[in-house]
Amino acid sequence: MKPLHEGWTISGGEVTELPATVPGCVHTALLAAGRIEDPYLDENETKLAWIGRTDWSYSTTFTADLGAPRLDLVCAGLDTVAEIELNGSPVGQTANMHRGYRFDVRPFVQAGTNSLKIKFNSPYAYAEEVRAKLGDRPNAYPEPFNFIRKQACNFGWDWGPTLVTSGIWQPIGLHAWSVARLAEVRPQVTVAPDGTGRVEVRVRLERAAEEPVTITASVAGRRAQATVDGIEALLILTVDEPSLWWPRGFGAQSLYDLSLTLTAAGGEALDSWSRRIGFRSVRVDTAGDAFTLHVNDVPIFVRGVNWIPDDVFADRITRARLSSRFQQAADANVNFLRVWGGGRYESEDFYELADEMGFLVGQDFLFACAAYPEEEPLRSEVEAEARENVIRLSAHPSLVLWTGNNENIWGHEDWDWKAPLAGRTWGAGYYFELLPRIVAELDPSRFYWPGSPYSKVRNRHPNDPAFGTTHIWDVWNTDDYTKYAAYRPRFVAEFGFQAPPAFSTLRRALSDDPLAPDSPGMAHHQKATGGDQKLERGLANHLPAPRDFDDWHYLTQLNQARAVAFGIEHFRSLRPLCMGSIMWQLNDCWPVTSWAAIDGDARKKPLWYAMRDAYADHLLTLQPRTAEAPIPGGPDPVTPGEVFTPAGAPALVAVNDGGLPWSISTTVTRRNLSGDVLAAAFLNATVAPGNAVTIPLPADLTTAGDPATEVIVAESDDHRTFWFFAEDKDIAWPAPAFTTSVASEGQSTTVTVTAGTILRSLTLYPDRLDPSAETDRAGVTLLPGDAVTFTVNSEKELDSAALVARPVLRCVNDISRG
C-alpha cells in the first residue's frame, strides 16, 4: 500500500491551510502550529471546546499508478463523521472512529495530480442530531458520547479532559491490486488434550476478476494450500506438540510466524498476510459461583490493572511509549490488562507487546457508563466495528476475554435509568444478543462475558460480589478502604482510590502559586465529583491532619497506596474463593488527580510500589480470621462512611503464586513502638503453588495491652508485614530520629536511612529535586535499629542535604498530631 501521509493541511472556522501531521488530529496540528496552548496545562482545556463544535477539512494532493484494475483508498481510522471527496467527486462517508473503511477510487483518479479532501463534521453536531432523532438516554456525564461511535472519554471523564477530537487518526493510503486480495484472514488457534496444536485459517477474498487463485498458509514448518474459485477458503495446519504460550510468571511466551500468500494461476504474487500466533488453551470456569481463568489448564489468579488510552491524542502513543508502560506494569508484578470500554480497541502495537511480554488481556467492547441506542444509524456501525475488531485481534494469544460493556448493565439496574428510558433501548440487545453471537461466530475459542460487572444470570443483581465479576466503588465514594475486608468477591474487576500525581508533574502542568489542594489548577485537574472531599474523608479516617500542601500531597498519596494494597492483599488472601483483582487504574492520559499508579507524565506514584509488593508472587499478609469461618462466605454489614473493623483476630496468610512450593519460617512478634518484644512465636508452613495458607496466631500475639502503642510484626526471609492495632492519627508517634548516608556514582545515588525510632511509611520524593529522578521503593516502615537503602536514578546530580530533608524525605512521624 502506498501511504498518503504527506502534504496535508487543515481548515476549519477561522483556521485556513494549516499544516497537519497524518496520522494525527486537529488538536495536535493546532498545537504544533502554536495556534492553541497546551490543553494539559493549567485550565487551557476550557478554552478549546470550540474545536469539537467546528467542522474541519483535511486536504492533500497525490499522484497514482493507473495500471491496476482496482485502486482503493484505505482509511484505517477516521475520527469520526467524514465525507471524502476525490477531485471534487464524492467517494464515501464514515461515521465510526472504531473501524476502518475502504473505497474503490479507480473511477475518480486521474493522470497527474489528484486532490483529496476529507471533511469532518462536528462530533457534537452529529451526536446531538442522533440524540434528537432517537430520544435522549441517561449516562454518567452531561455529554452525548453514547450517540456517536467515537472514543467516549474524548468527551471527558472523572479522570480525563473534555477534548473532542477530529482527524485522520490512523494510517491512510492507496492500495492498487488486481485479480483478488485477502479481505479477511481469521486464524483460530487451539491445543488438543494430547498437545497437538491446530490452526484453522478462514479466508475471505475480494475479487476484481473471476479466475482461480491459490492460498498458501505456513506455520512452524507446516504448510497448507488451497486453490479457490470463489471468495472463501479454510486451511488447516497441525503442529505436533508446539511450545506453549504462557502468561508471564508461568512459562515462556512462545510465538510462531503464521503467514499467508495469495497467488494468481500463473504464480504472480497478489497479496500476503502475516501474524505471530501462540498455542495455548484458555477457559473461564463459571461453574457454581466461580469465575476462574485457566490457561493451559492452570488456574491463574489475575493480578490485574485497568488500562485507559495512554494519551487523549492517539498519534502520540508510540510503540516505545507502550513498551515503557508495559515494562512498568511488568515490574509491578501485573499479569493482566483490562482494556476499558470507554476507550478504544487497542492497537496492534499494544497486542503484539502483550503477546511478547506475556500479559493476559481482557478487551471490553466500547460501551461505558451510559444507555446506548440500538437503532440506526448506530446499530449497523456497532456490528461492523465488532466484526472488524474481533477478526483483527483473533490472532493474538494474549487476548483471553471479551466483555460486552463497562457498567451499563449495573447502571440500568441501580442508577435510576429505567424511568427516563421509558422503554427505549439501552444496549441490552448488544450485550446479550449481538456481541455474543459475533464472538461465537468469529472467535469461538474465546470467552465472552456480557458486562463488567456481571453476575452470571440476568435475574440476579449485576454487581453481586458472590457471582461473576464485581466492581467495588462504595469504598471510594461513600465509605472507607477498610470496607474492602467486608467483601468476599469471586473476581474484582474494578476498585481503587485517588491521589494527586507526582509533585514534579504538578509543577510542570500547573502555574498555581502557591500550590494548594483547592488552588485553581489543582481544582481543574480534579475531575471526580466531590473528589477532594473524598480525599479529605479518607485522610481523616486514618492519618494526622496535614499542615500544608506538602503534607497533603504526601498523605493523600500514602493513603491511596495503603487503600489499594489493603484491598489487593485481602482479595488474594481469599484464594481460591476470589481469583481476580483488577485495580483501577494503571495509567493516566494527562496530569490529573486520579486513581492511577502511573501519572500522566509516566511517573510512579507510591501506589505503584505498594501494588508491586501486594502483587508479588509470594505474599505474607496479616488478615482478620475467626476459628468458625477462616474465610467467611458473605459480605459483612457496614454503615456508609464508617471505618470497618472486621471481626476476628489477625492471622498470618501466606499466598504463593509462584511455580514451586514456598517454605516459610516466620517470626511473629508483638512489640511496642520502641521495638521491645512483648510476645513472640515462630511459625513454619509450606505453601503449594497456586495456594494460600492461613496460620492462626497465639492469643498473646493478637491481644494488645495498649492498642495505641503496639504493633504485630511478621518476618520471613525478605518479607515483612505489620498489623497496627490503632490508626496512625491515634498513635503518639515519637519524633522521627534517624541517621542518613548518601553516596553517588554516575546517575545512581543511594540513600541509606538508619532508624533511631520507629519510622512509619518512610518515602523519598527525589523528583522534587530533579524531575527525572526515580527511587526504587516507597512507604517503608522501620523499627528502631532498622536500616533501608533507597536507590535513586537521575539525570543530574542531586543535592545530598536536600535529599534527606523535608519535603523530599517523609514519614508519618514528622507530622504533628496537632
Q: For every residue of 312-364, which 3-state class applies, written as one string?
A: CCHHHCCHHHHHHHHHHHHHCCCCEEEECCCCCCCCHHHHHHHHHHCCEEEEE
Beta carbons of 402 and 449 less than 8 angstroms apart: yes
d(CA 455, CA 467): 5
Low-confidence stretches of the chain (pLDDT < 50) are 628, 632, 818
Residue 61, helix vs strand vs coil: strand
Reported as a single tens digit per residue, the pLDDT across 400-422 is 999 999 999 999 999 999 999 99
State the first-to-last Cα distance of the chain, in angstroms, to the nearest integer. Answer: 69
d(CA 377, CA 386): 15
Say if 634 falls within a structural domain: no
Domain end marker among 597, 616, 635: 616
Taking each helix axis from N to C end, the angle separating 378-393 and 435-442, rounded to the nearest 10 degrees, works out to 30
What is the model's pLDDT at position 818?
39
Say if 140 falls within a structural domain: yes
What is the model's pLDDT at position 693?
96
Beta carbons of 176 and 2 less than 8 angstroms apart: yes
Domain end marker among 730, 759, 775: 730
- Burial of residue 756 (CB within 10 Å: 0-12, 13-18, 19+) is middle
Q: Quote the DSSP letter at residue 122.
A: P
- Name residue 809's beta-bridge partners: 764
Say if 283 falls within a structural domain: no
Q: Both 249 and 379 in a single domain?
A: no
Nearest alpha-carbon partner for 464 in 289, 304, 302, 303:
289
Beta carbons of 489 and 578 less than 8 angstroms apart: yes
Q: Both 259 and 380 in a single domain?
A: no
Q: Report, in angstroms and rounded to the nearest whole number, the Rg of the chain calculated over CA atoms.
A: 28
Say if 250 falls within a structural domain: yes
Domain total of the chain: 5
Q: Quote the DSSP letter at residue 445.
A: T
Q: Both 230 and 341 in a single domain?
A: no
Q: Both 425 and 358 in a single domain?
A: yes
Beta carbons of 493 and 124 less than 8 angstroms apart: no
Q: Both 337 and 443 in a single domain?
A: yes
d(CA 300, CA 307): 20
What is the model's pLDDT at position 621?
97
d(CA 104, CA 120): 20
d(CA 476, CA 468): 21
Residue with cell string 508446539 = 242
Say if 158 falls within a structural domain: yes
Residue 204, helix vs strand vs coil: strand
Q: Both 682 and 742 in a single domain?
A: no
Beta carbons of 412 and 371 less than 8 angstroms apart: yes
Assign residue 625 a region: left if phi > 0, alpha if psi is -120 to 50, beta otherwise?
Answer: beta
Say if 640 falls within a structural domain: no
> In Å, what is the CA distance from 631 to each residue of 619, 626, 694?
17, 8, 9
State how far Cα 249 lies from the chain centre: 19
Residue 44, helix vs strand vs coil: helix
- Name residue 174's beta-bridge partners: 2, 73
> In Å, what is the CA distance from 652 to each residue of 504, 571, 674?
39, 14, 23
What is the model's pLDDT at position 625?
86
Residue 388, helix vs strand vs coil: helix
Which residues have a Cβ under 8 Å from the Cβ of 479 and sit 6 or more positions away? 638, 640, 641, 642, 644
Beta carbons of 484 and 476 less than 8 angstroms apart: no
Q: Both 657 and 752 in a single domain?
A: no
What is the model's pLDDT at position 660?
95
Domain end marker among 118, 145, 175: 175
Residue 402, helix vs strand vs coil: strand
Determine which helix (DSSP H) or strand (DSSP E) holds 656, and give its type and residue range.
strand 649-656
Beta carbons of 164 and 143 less than 8 angstroms apart: no
d(CA 206, CA 745): 62
d(CA 550, CA 515): 9
Q: Both 750 and 693 in a single domain?
A: no
Residue 796 belongs to a domain with what CATH number? 2.60.40
Residue 69, helix vs strand vs coil: coil
Beta carbons of 226 and 214 less than 8 angstroms apart: yes
What is the maximal distance between C-alpha atoms in the chain?
92
Determine which helix (DSSP H) or strand (DSSP E) holds 760, and give its type and residue range.
strand 759-764
Q: Both 682 and 583 in a single domain?
A: no
Residue 93, helix vs strand vs coil: strand
Say if 549 falls within a structural domain: no
Owning domain of residue 45? 2-175
- Name residue 336's beta-bridge partners: 304, 360
Residue 195 belongs to a domain with what CATH number? 2.60.40.10
Q: Both 707 and 761 in a single domain?
A: no
Say if 319 falls within a structural domain: yes
pTM for the whole structure:
0.96
- For residue 377, say if its preceding peptide bond is cis, omega within 30 degrees of 0: yes
Degrees (nearest 5) of the Cα angle 116, 117, 123?
150
> In Å, what is the CA distance from 756 to each residue of 731, 759, 765?
18, 8, 21
Q: Reduced to 3 DSSP states, what percent helix, strand and coil does the chain have, rounded to the nearest 5? A: 25, 35, 45
- C-alpha grid cell for residue 286? 463459571
Residue with cell string 496466631 = 697
Q: Both 715 and 767 in a single domain?
A: no
Q: Both 694 and 581 in a single domain?
A: no
> In Å, what is the CA distance from 440 to each residue of 169, 188, 221, 290, 346?
30, 12, 30, 22, 21
Beta carbons of 602 and 322 less than 8 angstroms apart: no
d(CA 772, CA 684): 43
Beta carbons of 762 and 609 less than 8 angstroms apart: no
